[in-house]
Amino acid sequence: MQIIITGATGQLGGLILENLLQKMPAGQIIAGVRDPDKTAELRQLGLETRIVNYDVQDTLDKAFVDVTKLLLISSPHTDDTVWLAQHLRVIDAAQRAGVDHMLYTSFAFSQKGKSDNVHSLTEQAIQDSGLRYTFLRNALYIDFVNVLGLKEAVSSGVLTTLPGNWRFNAVSRSDLALATAAILAHSGPENQSYELTASQTWTFDNLAKALSGLAGKPVIHREDPEIQHWIYNFLSTIDTVSTTTDLERWMGREVTPLKESILPFIRPQEKRTLLD
Ligand SMILES: NC(=O)c1ccc[n+]([C@@H]2O[C@H](COP(=O)([O-])OP(=O)(O)OC[C@H]3O[C@@H](n4cnc5c(N)ncnc54)[C@H](OP(=O)(O)O)[C@@H]3O)[C@@H](O)[C@H]2O)c1
C-alpha cells in the first residue's frame, strides 16, 4: 500500500506524517510537496517525496502513479473559484491514476450552511467521481484564540470578548492529525464522513480559566459590546457548536484539554517541529 499526503510541508500535514510514521513503515508513505526546496527534512525521515502542485496538472499525474490512498489536505487558497479548481484538478488526476481511496480534509458541519461552499462542492465532486472516499470534516483549529489577545489578557488579567452565546467545538491540529493518521492506517473506512470536533464545547469563561491556570494568576472574562474584530463575523458564519465523538473515537483518547492546547500561544518556544 502506498499513501500520499498532499500539503505535507504544512502544519497539519507535518503532524499527520509524524503520527503516521508511528503506525506504518516510512516506505509506504509519500510526502506530496509543492516546493522542491522543502523536501530535505522529509527525506531525512525516510519518506519518498513527490512534487504535488494543485495548480499544475502534470505534477498531479506523476505524483499519483501507483498510489493506493490519497489524502488531499485542502488548499489554503483564499479565492473560492481558484480553491475549488485546485481540488477538482486533484480529483481528476486521482481518477485517471486509478487511486483506490481518496480522503479529504473538509470542514465540520459545513453541510449545515450554504451548500455551495468549497468544502461541500469538493465532497460532491469526489462522490461523483466514483472514487472510494472518506471525508475528514475538521473542526475550527483552536489557533483562532490567538487573535483574541491572549498575551494582553494574561498581562492585564482580563480577557475581553464580544457578548454572545459563544461556544466552541474547536480543537488542536495535533488532535486532528492523530485521528487522521489512525484513519489513514486503517484498512477501511470507505464512503464515510467524520465530524472531527471536540465532544463538548468550551466557552470564553473556560478560556479565561485556562489562561489563569497557565499564567498562575487570575484572568477574568469580561464582555464588551464595543469590540470590533473580524473574527466575530467569521465565527458567526460557521457552526462552532455542534459536536460528535468521532474525533475521540479515532484518537482513542479524550481531546487535549483547553489549557494544554493554548499553551503554544502563550509560550511559543514550547512548540515542537517534525524532527524534535
Ligand atoms: N479547520 C480550520 O480551522 C482551518 C483553518 C485554516 C486552514 N484550514 C485548512 O486546512 C488546510 C491545512 O491547514 P495547515 O494549517 O496545514 O495549513 P498550512 O500550514 O498553511 O499548509 C498548507 C499546505 O498547503 C500547501 N500548498 C499551498 N498551495 C499549494 C498548491 N497550489 N499546491 C500544493 N500544495 C499547496 C503548502 O505548501 P508550501 O509549504 O509550499 O506553502 C502547505 O504544505 C489549509 O490549507 C486550509 O485549507 C482549516
254-265 pLDDT per residue, tens? 999 999 999 999
- Residue 7: how many other CB atoms lie within 10 Å: 23
| Separation in Å, CA 210 to CA 214, 241, 260 | 6, 19, 8
Give the pLDDT of residue 146: 93
Residue whose CA is at the smallest distance from ligand 1 atom 17: 10
Report the chain's terminal Cα–Cα distance, integer Å.
27
Q: Which amino acid is at 233?
A: N
160-198 pLDDT per residue, tens? 999 999 999 999 999 999 999 999 999 877 899 999 999
**Position in ligand 1 atom list of the atom nearest CA 53:** 32
Q: Is 197 in the pocket of ligand 1 (CB under 6 A)?
A: no
Question: Concatenated DSSP letters for 163-193?
Answer: -S---B--B-HHHHHHHHHHHHHSS---SEE
Residue whose CA is at the smallest distance from ligand 1 atom 26: 7
Distance 10 CA to ligand 1 centre (A): 6
Q: Is 37 in the pocket of ligand 1 (CB under 6 A)?
A: no
103-143 pLDDT per residue, tens? 999 999 987 777 789 999 999 999 999 999 999 999 999 99
Q: Is 57 in the pocket of ligand 1 (CB under 6 A)?
A: no
Q: Is 143 in the pocket of ligand 1 (CB under 6 A)?
A: no
Q: Is 141 in the pocket of ligand 1 (CB under 6 A)?
A: yes
| Separation in Å, CA 19 to CA 71, 75, 175, 180 | 14, 21, 10, 9
Q: Is 73 in the pocket of ligand 1 (CB under 6 A)?
A: yes
- Residue 228: how many other CB atoms lie within 10 Å: 7
| 196-223 core/surface letters (b: 16 or more CB in 10 A; e: else) | bbbeebbebebbbbbbbebbeeebebee
Name the pTM for this structure. 0.96
Give the pLDDT of residue 269: 65
Whether the per-residue pLDDT at 250 is higher than 50: the answer is: yes
Peptide bond into 268 cis (omega under 30): no
Whether the per-residue pLDDT at 276 is higher than 60: the answer is: no
Give the pLDDT of residue 270: 59
Give the pLDDT of residue 271: 53
Q: Is 32 in the pocket of ligand 1 (CB under 6 A)?
A: no
Give the pLDDT of residue 251: 98
Distance 73 CA to ligand 1 centre (A): 7
- Please give the mean pLDDT across all residues of the chain: 95
Chain centroid offset of residue 138 CA: 5
Q: Is 74 in the pocket of ligand 1 (CB under 6 A)?
A: yes
Distance 104 CA to ligand 1 centre (A): 13
Residue whose CA is at the smallest distance from ligand 1 atom 7: 76
Q: Is 104 in the pocket of ligand 1 (CB under 6 A)?
A: no
Distance 9 CA to ligand 1 centre (A): 8
CB of 135 closer than 8 Å to CB of 192? yes
Distance 156 CA to ligand 1 centre (A): 34
Residue whose CA is at the smallest distance from ligand 1 atom 1: 140
Residue whose CA is at the smallest distance from ligand 1 atom 21: 10
Distance 217 CA to ligand 1 centre (A): 36
- All three cell numbers of 248, joined, read 475521540
Q: Is 112 helix (H, G, I), strand (E, B) or coil?
A: helix
Q: Among 55, 42, 46, 43, which residue's Cα sits nearest to residue 14? A: 42
Tell me which H or E stretch contains 71: strand 69-72
**With bands split at pLDDT 50, 70 and 90, how would you rate the model's confidence at 275?**
very low
Domains observed in the chain: 3-270 (3.40.50.720)
